Structure 1
Amino acid sequence: MATQYASAVDQGRVLSEAVARVAACWKFTNEQLGLVLGISAATASRLRSGSYRLERPDKAFELGQFLVRLFRSLDALMGSDDAASMSWLKAENLDLGGRPIDLIRTIRGLGDVADYVDDYRARV
């Protein structure tokens, strides 16, 4: 039982650190990060500082997983060029019906954008 607990704690720590790095790479404000994860800007600030961790049963944990998935897929497509990724996120996308940066503020939008990038990657 202790192994399962340690594993869950490690997952929360690792995902929280990964989400904080994504937010830094994409220059998200605490408000933007909070909107994506469904948490307050203050909680997003604590997440970035390491004093708050995402935990498995929470919806924010799942949304954090989608955000990291999107980051990894887009990073692979853009050749690890953060500026190109940010440009893509901010550009109007006719297939998605909006700017990805705006769409990822909703659960459905985050899932749709992550699926879109994964589908595009599968074709390459």
Structure 2
Amino acid sequence: MAGLRKRTAAPQDAAPSADAASAVLTKATLRAAELLGLNNATLARVVGVSEAHVSRMAKGERVLEVGTKPAELAALVVRVYRSLDALVGNSEPQRRAWMTSFNRAFNEAPKDAIQRAEGLARVVHYLDGARAMV
């Protein structure tokens, strides 16, 4: 049967998993931001997208595309949440207090520090170090 080719695992088969990964990352980022006390405007600055984009993410109309700079920054937001949550024992008041209190390691509150990529990386590194001591 000339002209007929056997269907192979092509990029079409990989697309749903990439879409699923983007959806999971988006949902995890929104949840982490909520639990860290970050509003949409702050989250938008942290991951480098517009506030409208974050609003559409919350409505399920947009996702953070895996492999992009905003997705990389979003993954760090999730790491901040996971590390901080482990340190404060799942205490929302302590988590929010830590995010909004001045920290000499950053010379500002972590909530402010994470709004720059360099500050976000410093907060992740700081929390990773604190977790290593526990």
Instruction: Name the TM-score, length of structure 1 as normaliser.
Output: 0.94
CA contact (8 A) 2:36 2:81 kept: no
Rg larger in 1 or in 2?
Answer: 2
Could you list the runs of 5+ residues in structure 2 that have no partner in the other structure? 1-9
Partner of 1:116: 126
1:50 aligns with 2:60: yes
Partner of 1:37: 47
Give the C-alpha shift of residue 98 in structure 1: 1.4
Once the two structures are superposed, the pairs formed by residues 37-116 of structure 1 within 5 Å of their partners are 37-116=47-126
Number of residue-to-residue matches in the alignment? 124
Task: Give the whole-Å Cα distance in 2 for the aligned partners of 1:37 and 1:88.
Answer: 20
1:21 aligns with 2:31: yes
Counting aligned pairs with the same residue, the percent is 35
Task: Give the whole-Å Cα distance in 2 for the aligned partners of 1:49 and 1:22.
Answer: 16
Aligned AA (2:88): M
Superposed structure 1 runs of 4+ greater than 3 Å apart: none
- SS in structure 1 opposite 2:24? helix
CA contact (8 A) 2:35 2:81 kept: no
Give the C-alpha shift of residue 27 in structure 1: 3.1
CA contact (8 A) 2:76 2:124 kept: yes
- SS in structure 2 opposite 1:88? helix
Task: Give the whole-Å Cα distance in 1 for the aligned partners of 2:75 and 2:35.
Answer: 16
Could you list the runs of 5+ residues in structure 1 that have no partner in the other structure? none
Give the C-alpha shift of residue 96 in structure 1: 2.0
